[in-house]
């Protein structure tokens, strides 16, 4: 069985329909499951997804909340007016389809600056 066999409600969208979820050994086998979805950030191990009130038989799974699959970058020489001593950064961003690259890059920069901003400012001022 693949993810495409799931019938989502109006609030969910299937992004990777060809992802396998189970192998059934014969045509008489029937599979029924409830799936809980959540929003998050980064990677969450199955152990962290365990809840005390989950029904018996619940199988917590690892969660991947990372829509960025790959980023390629290249530092290129840049020219501004007559000055040629500048660099530019070219990014190729590949996502899983849940977010467009042009949406993901600004969010990534904001997160980078908010988490590392103080370190960058201190390093530039020589205060580390």
Convert the pLDDT of each residue in 86-126 to its tens digit: 999 999 999 988 889 999 888 888 877 776 665 655 555 55
Q: Beta strand 63-65 with 68-80: parallel, antiparallel or unpaired? A: unpaired
CB within 8 Å of 46: residues ≥ 6 apart: 60, 61, 62
CB within 8 Å of 12: residues ≥ 6 apart: 37
Long-range (24+ apart) CB contacts under 8 A made by 32-37 are: 35/6, 37/12
pLDDT for position 120 = 59
Annotated domain spans of the chain: 1-65, 68-125
Q: 128: which DSSP letter? A: -
What pTM, to 2 d.p., does this model score?
Answer: 0.56
């Amino acid at each position: 069985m693949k993810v495409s066999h799931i019938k989502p409600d109006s609030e969910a969208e299937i992004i990777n329909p060809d992802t396998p979820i189970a192998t059934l050994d014969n045509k008489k086998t029937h599979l029924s499951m409830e799936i809980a979805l959540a929003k998050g950030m980064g990677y969450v191990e199955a152990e962290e997804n365990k809840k005390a009130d989950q029904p018996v038989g619940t199988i917590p799974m690892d969660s991947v909340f990372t829509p960025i699959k790959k980023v390629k970058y290249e530092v290129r020489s840049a020219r501004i007016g007559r000055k040629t001593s500048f660099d530019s950064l070219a990014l190729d961003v590949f996502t899983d389809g849940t977010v467009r690259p042009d949406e993901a890059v600004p969010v990534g920069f904001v997160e980078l600056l908010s988490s590392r901003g103080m370190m960058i400012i201190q390093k530039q001022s020589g205060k580390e």
